[in-house]
Amino acid sequence: METVSPDAERHYAAVVRGADRLVVGLDFDGTLAPIVEDPEQARIHPRGREVLLRLAEAVRGVAVVTGRPARQVLALGGLDEIGDELGGRGRDLYVLGQYGNERWSSHERRVITPKPPRGLATLSSELPGILRRADAAEAWVEEKGLALGIHTRRLPDPDAALERLREPVGEAARRHDLVVEPGRMVLEVRAGGMDKGAAVHRLAEELDAGAFCFVGDDLGDVEAFKAVGDLRADGVVGLLVASGSREESALVDLADVVVAGPDGVMDFLDALVDDVRALRA
């Protein structure tokens, strides 16, 4: 764990002291799960189950806030099973999928999701031509129900392909009143009006958070980091943790603490729980 902001140690100590009202928000890919070439093969870190169980018993609330569909991340992370176990201990786990558009909790046990945005189906039918004209016909298109993910990771030069796609995909999205969310070797096209920042604000209000820690790794987490900054301005204790990588460093400049990928996230969360328990002893 590396502290990178001047007030990092102060923020961390305040989060530990305020654990009774602490909500911890966690991205999935690159944070709880290592990044893999095929997103369908992603799995939660081997220590993830144990760490999440320990964390949920030490704080007010734990939420996985992800761009993936909620049902998908529940399956890939075994989060429904973790939720079952937490329910027996009187604790809750929340999963906010597709940037907060979908919601699942261990006490409600069902995914609440809106209808797909208008224009998404039309854009999907246009996409093969857009990819072909950008010399990226082999890019993998992931259908997410409420969004489309255009992945270039499998292409010979994924960075160059992503750059070629930014403008035409962005133009098509604007035509259909959609937004583009860039990420690690991926462009996501989805409805506007909801992002991880809005999800953070909703969680903080619903759970009456007196402290909020968010851990993320990618551009999609920037709005969540900004939301924690807003909460700080309103008197809520906040801590920002970046799961660092060689592919994306956008969050590092915003973070209080930087850790080395999902391994570092597990170590950080374990240390947080240990410090909370030591203070309560």
Do 91 and 11 share a structural domain? yes
Q: What backbone torsions phi and psi does residue 37 show, to the nearest 5 degrees?
A: -65, -40
Asked whether residue 110 falls in the same domain as residue 207, the answer is yes
pLDDT tens digits, one per residue of 7-58: 999 999 999 999 999 999 999 999 999 988 777 788 999 999 999 999 999 9
Among the candidates 145, 174, 191, a domain finishes at: 191
Question: Residue 24: CB partners within 8 Å, gap ≥ 6?
Answer: 55, 59, 61, 62, 63, 212, 213, 214, 215, 269
Residue 137: domain span: 120-191
**pLDDT tens-digit readout, 183-229:** 878 999 988 878 899 999 999 999 999 999 999 998 889 999 999 99
**Same-domain status, 83 and 218:** yes
109 and 130 in a single domain? The answer is no
In 10 A of CB 151, how many CB atoms?
Answer: 22
What sign does the dihedral 170-241-7-1 (CA atoms) show? Answer: negative
How many structural domains compose the chain?
2
**Do both 9 and 94 map to the same domain?**
yes
pTM here? 0.85
- DSSP conformation class of 171: H
φ/ψ bin of 51: left (φ > 0), alpha (ψ from -120 to 50), beta (otherwise):
alpha
Residues 32 and 167 in one domain: no
Query: Do the Cβ atoms of 236 and 18 come closer than 8 Å?
Result: no
For the chain, how are helix, strand and coil distributed in percent, rounded to 5? Answer: 45, 20, 35
User: What's the whole-number mean pLDDT along residues 246-250?
Assistant: 64
Q: What is the dihedral of CA 22, 23, 27, 30, to 10 degrees?
A: 20
* Domain of residue 267, CATH code: 3.40.50.1000
